[in-house]
Amino acid sequence: MSEEKKSTAIDLKNLKAGGFIKERGKDLFTVRLRVPGGRMPVGRLQKIAEVAGKYCKEGMVHLSVRQSVELINVDFKHFDAVVAELGEGDQKVASCGARIRVPTACGGCEYNPNGLVDTQKSALEVDKKLFGTPTGHHKFKVGFAGCPFDCPKSATNDVGFQGAIWPELDKDICINCGLCAKSCSDGAIAMGDDRLPNFDSGRCTWCGDCVKVCPTEAWRAARRGYTVRIGGKWGRNPLVGTLFATFLPEEQVTDFIAAVLDWYVAKAEGRGRVRLGDIIIQVGTESLLEHLRDKFPAAVVASTIPPQIINTQVGQRSIPE
């Protein structure tokens, strides 16, 4: 009697961008879903719940720290069915590995009173145009915060964006109420002897509280965009990204990330699995500043400092040479 070998047919195209992560148990995988900015229509969430109910062996999902829904304990034999059924609800699978990951974002400006820019729009745009782009080296994370409260911790991303506005005062319509000075958390506005607010731009973090509170619209946003920090990461050897651009217009975000990626791909050549921040530390900030200044002269800062090393007090920091 001949032994019959069982074979499972899987569409390997589905696995190409990653998003299927091996679990401890035999045959079991986590399926990471693509949820840019962590926002989705309720109908899509219902579809996810339906698919999860069918294929997650223990009946559980995990909400990841980067705003994904992860279907856990999924048998690899069901990959095609999971992808197909999620697709009916317009839900795609995310990525893993050395690629541009799904961008994270806060709620943004539409309903959050602190939001200065449309982070949800930025996240969707970056997801659409850059998601899954291979870096050749290591993962590449992007995050958007709508204001300097920075709930998404933008500076821990390879490229992190923080909403900002530059306030400008029209003295003629100021009613000298002092609400702006009282509202400013950074001590950047003080009422002068002439009862007009004095603005110290060196102390400003660009949160826009003065503009929001001003009763007469005397304070207005003269510039709006993103404060951009580059080179952050977490993990074993954390780095906090540093300032490379200010007031980057929202419509330039995707091109800016693509330009950073170009530099990273070239400079990390032959270096293997090294994150952007470590490459900046080794190559120096000037090279990246110069590269970006070509395309974004109005936004790129004159000089900056390398990504800042966080001392975790455990082990010894090492970067592959």
Partner 1 sequence: MKTIDLRGISCPTNFVKAKLALEMIDAGETVLFILDDGEAVKNVPRSLKAEGHKLLGLQEVDGHYELTLEKGEE
Residue 168: HSE in the Cβ half-sphere, 13 Å Cα cutoff: 5
Nearer to partner 1, 195 or 236 (CB): 195
Verify binding: residue 212, partner 1, rule CB under 8 A: yes
Specify the stretch interacting with partner 1 by CB under 8 A; choose among 35-43, 166-174, 205-213, 282-290: 205-213
Exposed e or buried b per residue across 278-304, where buried means at least 16 C-beta atoms within 10 angstroms of its C-beta: bbbbeeebeebbebbbeebeebbbeeb
The residue within the footprint of partner 1, chosen from 209, 229, 242, 267 (CB under 8 A), is 209
Interface stretch with partner 1, choices 1-9, 33-41, 208-216, 300-308 (CB under 8 A)? 208-216
Cα–Cα distance between 116 and 49 in angstroms, integer? 33
CA distance 38 to 123: 9
Stretch that binds partner 1, among 104-112, 175-183, 221-229, 293-301 (CB under 8 A): 175-183
Q: Which helix (H) or strand (E) holds 308?
A: strand 308-309
Q: Which is nearer to partner 1, 193 or 321 (CB)?
A: 193
**Left, alpha or beta for 73 (phi > 0: left; psi -120 to 50: alpha)?**
left
Cα separation, 244 vs 250, in Å, equals 15
What's the min distance (Å) between Cβ of 214 and partner 1? 8
Q: Residue 172 CB, nearest distance to partner 1 (Å)? A: 17
For residue 184, the minimal CB distance to partner 1 (Å) is 9
Check binding of 196 to partner 1 (CB under 8 A): no
Our finding on whether 190 is near partner 1 (CB under 8 A) is: no
C-beta of residue 115 within 8 angstroms of C-beta of residue 105: no
| Minimum gap (Å) between residue 115 Cβ and partner 1 | 12
Task: Give the Å distances, CA to CA, from 100 to 33, 97, 104, 254.
Answer: 15, 9, 12, 12
How far apart, in whole angstroms, are the C-alpha atoms of residue 188 and residue 202? 8
The answer to whether residues 170 and 155 touch, using CB atoms and an 8 Å cutoff, is no
Helix (H) or strand (E) run with residue 290 in it: helix 285-295
**Nearest to partner 1 of 21, 179 (CB atom):** 179
Nearer to partner 1 by C-beta: 175 or 266?
Answer: 175
Q: Which of residues 239-278 bind partner 1 (CB under 8 A)?
A: none
The least distance separating partner 1 from the CB of residue 209, rounded to whole angstroms, comes to 7
- Quote the least distance from Cβ 120 to partner 1, whole Å: 20
Q: What is the DSSP letter of 167?
A: E
Measured from the CB of residue 175, what is the shortest distance to partner 1 in angstroms?
7
Binding residues among 89-118 for partner 1 as defined by CB under 8 A? 113
The answer to the question of residue 185 lying near partner 1 (CB under 8 A) is: yes
Residue number, 177 or 310, with CB nearest to partner 1: 177
Residues counted in the chain: 321
Stretch that binds partner 1, among 76-84, 179-187, 219-227, 245-253 (CB under 8 A): 179-187
Whole-number Å distance between alpha carbons of 32 and 63:
10
DSSP letter for 25, please: S
Binding region for partner 1 (CB under 8 A): 113, 175, 177-179, 182-183, 185, 209, 212-213, 215
